[in-house]
Amino acid sequence: MTAQPMSPRTTVRRGASHAEYGKSEILAVLRAGQIAHVGVDTDEGPLVLPMAYGVTEDVMYLHGALANSLLKAGGNGVCATVTLLDGLVIAKTSFNNTMNYRSVVVRGTPRMVTDGAERLEALRIITDHIVGNWEHLRPPSDSELRATRIIALPLDEMSAKIRTGPPVNDDVDADAAHWCGEIPLVSAWGSPVTAPDSGATLPSSIAALADRPVNP
């Protein structure tokens, strides 16, 4: 564990030995992830939305058709989580089975991105975070930008939990003849399949995705 919690409500209590508060370490997890699950408390009960995102040093940009609803319901703040599963950890008893993972929790009050230049930059950040091909795309039109809803969540309150390594077995199981160890999860993007109406050769940014780990 490094650094100090950013706030009392981002202090890790359960599994505190896996807590990580260093900003660079937390950003590394956010940059490796693909989807954020954003939770809000609405008049109709709790709601969690999966949303595409991108991050800077200070902001998480979230993009989705439900951004307006998210803002309306997020008057008391929202909670965004990103979780990366790295493998299964098998102990000698199911009680001690666990997983190797990297997870981040971000809490805060979101704002709608209304400035045209920031909205365009946020779209670039989100696109390049997921695919990295902004430079090969047609620039969005004014009408597309007006129809786009992006919210910005400040990275002022966040924490991470990270687990790595082999299982921890109880002393009573030290000599028990049961297999234990780790099963890494390995996933990668496949080869791009060009659409019939593409009209262009495969750009280098897309070709580079082939065989690239999904959650490096």
- Render each residue's pLDDT in the chain as its tens digit; 216 residues: 568 888 888 889 888 888 999 999 999 999 999 999 999 888 788 889 899 999 999 999 998 766 666 766 666 789 999 999 999 999 999 999 999 999 999 999 999 898 889 999 999 999 999 998 898 889 999 888 888 889 999 999 999 999 999 999 988 888 889 999 999 999 999 999 999 999 889 988 889 888 888 888
pTM for the predicted model, two decimal places: 0.89
163 Cβ neighbours under 8 A, 6+ residues apart: 15, 18, 89, 98, 99, 100, 101
Compute CA 129 distance to the chain's CA centroid, rounded to the nearest angstrom. 10
**How many Å apart are CA 127 and CA 207, to the nearest integer?**
16
Q: Domain limits of the chain?
A: 8-180, 186-216
> Which amino acid makes up residue 146?
R
Distance from C-alpha of 149 to C-alpha of 146, rounded to nearest angstrom: 8
- Supply the pLDDT for residue 73: 65
**What is the reported pLDDT for 41?**
84
Cα–Cα distance between 29 and 212 in angstroms, integer?
17
Those residues whose C-beta lies under 8 Å from the C-beta of residue 200, and which sit 6 or more positions away, are none
Query: How would you classify residue 115: left for phi > 0, otherwise alpha for psi between -120 and 50, otherwise beta?
Result: beta
* CATH fold for domain 8-180: Pnp Oxidase; Chain A (2.30.110)
**Counting every residue, how long is the chain?**
216
| Cβ atoms within 10 Å of 144's Cβ, excluding its own | 11
The residue assigned the tokens 């779209």 is 123
Task: Give 22: exposed, middle or buried? Use CB within 10 Å, 0-12, 13-18, 19+.
Answer: middle
Give dist(CA 159, CA 192) in Å, integer: 35
Backbone angles phi, psi at 53, to 5 degrees: -150, 170
Contact of 63 with 150, CB cutoff 8 Å: yes
User: Taking a C-beta distance cutoff of 8 angstroms, is the pair 79, 46 a contact?
Assistant: no
| Nearest C-alpha neighbor of 38 from the set 84, 3, 101, 82 | 82
Res 65: pLDDT: 64
